[in-house]
Structure 1
């Protein structure tokens, strides 16, 4: 028995609803801490203005202006797609089983794809596989050169024990505060490097270690823990390296990474005229989205490498 148009319409309405609900309830908070989201209207976007804003000088005869240009940096949009199928006999027998849940999961996967790309960029930021920074170096590098400034945002850690993490965190915060802008002045001269603006991103293997260092009231020796609440902690399961971690400054309108959204996730619904149905008696539901990711200011993040 063939699927009727009425049956397919009902199934597609349910699928569209489940997919959209998953998109709407997805929490974009963590992505927003790591990446600046912008709207894209072309196949690629070119960004200028990645130079530091000037200080305010004493007014005497005329105002001094700094042109917001900087080096240009192009980010191309990419298309991502995936889908699920359902056999026509299951629709005929009203044996949908987990199908509604799988469509909901497909929406979650589509909504989460930008974060997957951003985490992938973090992990590969010390090589060129995910692109290079606007100054021509890898995003995490020891040899950044920008205008009058030379600096490193790639640190070698001392290990993964609590005492080693404590020492490396202290060193990393100091290094972050000392990073220069393209004029050679302190990048953080006008920014507050407070606990609310610092995010430690660790793999699951280091989550408990980070919590011991940054959330407990007393240290291992019983003394007051001066690092308590010194930074926020995030431990995404997407991080694959068990030893490396990141220190990210979140208190700026700019972020380490740019996420440009060309097309929001959408679901493509099947019809009775599709080849997959006419030849294989399968209904295909596809999710797709288009976006691009690229690097912004290297001074906004440090990578700490442990072996």
Structure 2
């Protein structure tokens, strides 16, 4: 196809439509599971502040004036970042009807855009062993402070044991311990949070171990498995190590992880034939842009283990 001023607009419009269709089809078909563990809190600016995050308002007996739950003094802020995925198409390939070679790139851009939130959310979980949450401690830490004054206690949501289904004792000392830790969590007034962990998040290397723990009637030592069916196994390739595992309560309105979209992934195109990119390098550009971030909600709703002693 000869590419000239007369047909440039029609050719580029048709090309953009084709690339966008490929992108959208791949976007729609791509799997995504971030919403199993995170809550979406839209953003309307550069960042969001989450001073409210640690308050658990509950009904109490009304005696005298109402007791107002004050916002936390913690200034936990999640700042949005920019993201992009770009496909560059050479003008010669348009003239030579050789656009098919770019189809896989457009498909991967679409899939990457769909899983953008997964990338943010599961990376945040994996980095929770060293990234701070609203109280200034690492999301997974052994010294979170709960309560005030003489009633202040240090509470842990971090373990360093491997996920183990080899025996009832091993299961109790790994998954069972994490489950008890979450179910024992209390708020700053000492009231039970009544949490019920329902997600066991693991890397691909621990998928079989997690599935055994959640599905078999008896463990390898022949003893009954009390943990069968107590959580849904979620496997995420974004986790940074092969040994870490996470137990979360993602059943409530507030979840342990925050997905904060400022701009959801959108298809964009640079098709102006007079642009520097086209004039100097004969390159047209198509892709996606997004803006947002992920961060931490309530550490009480998650226990993470490095899987290493």
Higher mean alpha-carbon deviation, 158-167 vs 31-40, is at: 158-167
Paired residues in the alignment total 297
**2:112 aligned partner:** 109
Structure 1 residues 151 and 122, CA gap change in structure 2 (3 angstroms): same
| Matches of 1:18 and 1:135, distance apart in 2 | 44
Retained in 2: the 8 A contact 1:162–1:213?
no
| Matches of 2:213 and 2:146, distance apart in 1 | 34
1:88 lines up with 2:52 in the alignment: no
Which of 22, 25, 30 is matched with 1:21 structurally? 25
TM, length-normalised to structure 2: 0.88
**1:170 aligned partner:** 176
**1:37 aligned partner:** 40
1:20 CA drift (Å):
2.9
1:241 CA drift (Å):
0.6
**1:280 aligned partner:** 281
Higher mean alpha-carbon deviation, 68-77 vs 87-96, is at: 68-77
1:144 CA drift (Å):
0.7
* SS at structure 2 position matched to 1:291: strand
**2:248 aligned partner:** 248
1:99 lines up with 2:105 in the alignment: no
Which of 130, 153, 156 is matched with 1:152 structurally? 156
* SS at structure 1 position matched to 2:278: helix
Query: Structure 1: which 5+ residue stretches go unaligned?
Result: none
Alignment of 1:220-299 (within 5 A): 220-271=220-271, 272-299=273-300
* SS at structure 1 position matched to 2:133: coil
RMSD: 2.2
Retained in 1: the 8 A contact 2:166–2:219?
no
1:126 CA drift (Å):
1.4
Structure 1 residues 205 and 266, CA gap change in structure 2 (3 angstroms): same
1:27 CA drift (Å):
4.5
* Deviations 1:85-139, CA, capped at 9 Å, x for gaps: 12212211212224234213202212212211222211211113xxx11111111
Retained in 2: the 8 A contact 1:126–1:139?
yes
**1:123 aligned partner:** 126
| Matches of 2:163 and 2:188, distance apart in 1 | 32
Alignment of 1:158-197 (within 5 A): 158=162, 160=164, 162-163=166-167, 164-165=170-171, 167-188=173-194, 191=195, 193=196, 197=197
TM, length-normalised to structure 1: 0.88
| Matches of 2:67 and 2:165, distance apart in 1 | 51
**2:9 aligned partner:** 5
Structure 1 residues 161 and 98, CA gap change in structure 2 (3 angstroms): farther
Query: Structure 2: which 5+ residue stretches go unaligned?
Result: none
* SS at structure 2 position matched to 1:6: helix
1:68 CA drift (Å):
5.0
1:59 CA drift (Å):
3.6
Retained in 1: the 8 A contact 2:163–2:245?
no
Retained in 2: the 8 A contact 1:162–1:212?
no
